[in-house]
Amino acid sequence: MRILVLNSGSSSIKYKLFDMTDRSILASGHVERIGEETSALNHQARTAKGDLAETSKTGRVADHREGMKWIVEALSATKTAEDEDGLAGIGHRVVHGGEDFTQPTLIDHEVLDVIRQNVPLAPLHNPANLIGIEVALEAVPDLPQVAVFDTAFHQSIPPRAFHYAIPHELYAQHRVRRYGFHGTSHQYVAGQAAAFLERPLESLNLITLHLGNGASVAAVEKGRCVDTSMGMTPLEGLIMGTRCGDIDPAVHFYLLREAGLSPDDLESILNKESGLKGLSGTNDMREVLEKAESGDDRAQLAIDMYCYRVKKYIGAYLAALGSVDALVFTAGIGERAASIRASCCRGLPGLGIVLDPAKNRANAQPPFEIQATGSAVRILVISTDEELQIAEQTLELIQNRKEPRDV
Ligand code: ADP
């Protein structure tokens, strides 16, 4: 039984086709630069022999509809033995579900309308996600399709943690509050951590640290998220590749007034020119680490600030949870940058967090654990896999649905 996962962005569509009998990837790829002069498809598929065959194609892809045509063609040109089981459904990544979606949801007209109503909350992402869904519904109208929201896992956050201290009407009328993102990843690694620890998720308190290009922390109490560092948008919280994370909101008014910036300029600076890039000149942690190694003070400052911010959130979420069984590092930096993990955990024995330097540097294949003997909190490194989580949730919903929906 196969599940196709689609992640439709503003100028690209990424996809992965899973064989759900063994969770293996049958094919994957992306169409990039949709709407530009030259677009490109890169496609990888598993052959009958089990090797990976790569194909690519360039040309003009005017819109997402045409992009989906390229994907359907590429997928049908690389049919595999598993095709006999047929495609069971499609899982779509949707960035913003607002307060309306607390879990993955089978798509029907009503669901599409609600995703549309949430466009003002994610004006760059939700329209692109919607186009992907509409095009897929046109291509295969009879197939069940599921929306999996980045925000859904965080809907269990209590009011004391999701409200901002601003006039209540701004929440009531404009829905200004913390939503949180990367929910699919936090939920997935929390489940994987429980499996690694051989304990029920419902018995564990975890702090999950998704440190990729975007980065966020979540406090997960007995499988339910109770706080997260990203806010109404993905700009709040940790220092990221190009985003500033937490900042005094008055800086905005000051810069609008004193630096002659427009609101659009400022939005772009804080989202695209800040974080590691603003501090050190590059958003890529590997390059920041290399620069720091060769004596670049600004790169070293960026690393120090990055880890200090992570450490502050670990302390805050330990206080929020009361006790923590494990810290879980994941995503590009969390999984691979041992020196960053070490700095984030340095000086925390008072909180029961002590890392074993040798285990940390061993660069094992995740999942593995890196705490010192006697550390009250276990420290895990777990690979995230948002697409597999979307495929799992899509399959579960399809298998458990009671009656066909109006698609
Ligand atoms: P995205 O959020 O785009 O999915 P990833 O989870 O792939 O990003 O994380 C990208 C980040 O991980 C980049 O900053 C990259 O430099 C960093 N990274 C990847 N491999 C390493 C490594 N071996 N050491 C340090 N940083 C790494």
Which CATH number fits the domain that encloses residue 142?
Answer: 3.30.420.40
- Judgement on whether residues 282 and 358 belong to the same structural domain of the protein: yes
pLDDT value, residue 100: 94
Atom number of ligand 1 nearest to Cα 215: 2
| Ligand 1 within 6 A of CB of 212 | yes
Domain shared by 230 and 136, yes or no: no
How many structural domains does the chain have?
2
For residue 304, tell me if it sits in a domain: yes
Specify the pLDDT at position 405. 47
Residue 264, domain member (yes or no): yes
Residue ending a domain, among 119, 134, 149, is: 149
pLDDT value, residue 194: 98
Inside any domain, residue 6: yes
Is 354 found in the same domain as 212?
A: yes
pLDDT given at position 81: 47
- Asked whether residue 39 falls in the same domain as residue 113, the answer is yes
What pTM, to 2 d.p., does this model score? 0.93
Nearest CA to ligand 1 atom 24: 337
Q: How distant is the alpha carbon of residue 342 from its chain centre?
A: 23
Residues 366 and 272 in one domain: yes
For residue 334, report the distance from its CA to the centre of ligand 1, in Å: 8
Residue closest by Cα to atom 23 of ligand 1: 336
- What is the structure's pLDDT at 340? 98
Q: What pLDDT does 403 receive? A: 55
Ligand 1 in reach of 336 Cβ (< 6 A):
yes
Given this model, what pLDDT does residue 82 score?
Answer: 52
Does residue 46 fall inside a structural domain? Answer: yes
Cα 105 to Cα 149: distance, rounded to the nearest angstrom: 9
CA of 332 to the centre of ligand 1 (A): 3
Q: How far is 382 from 188, CA to CA, in rounded Å?
A: 10
> How far, in Å, CA of 55 to CA of 43, rounded?
5
CA 95 to each of CA 85, 121, 130, 280: distance values in angstroms, whole numbers, following the listed order: 30, 10, 10, 29
Domain that holds residue 300: 199-386
Residue ranges of the chain with pLDDT lower than 70? 79-85, 402-407
Q: 3-state DSSP helix/strand/coil percent for the chain, to nearest 5?
A: 45, 20, 35
Query: Is any atom of ligand 1 closer than 6 Å to the C-beta of 286?
Result: yes
C-alpha separations of 246 from 122, 306, 309 in Å: 19, 11, 9
**Is residue 166, in this structure, part of any structural domain at all?**
no
Q: Which positions are annotated as active-site residues?
A: 150
Element (H, E) at 224: strand 224-228
Residue from 333, 340, 386, 387 whose mutation best tests the ligand 1 pocket (most atoms within 8 A of CB)? 333
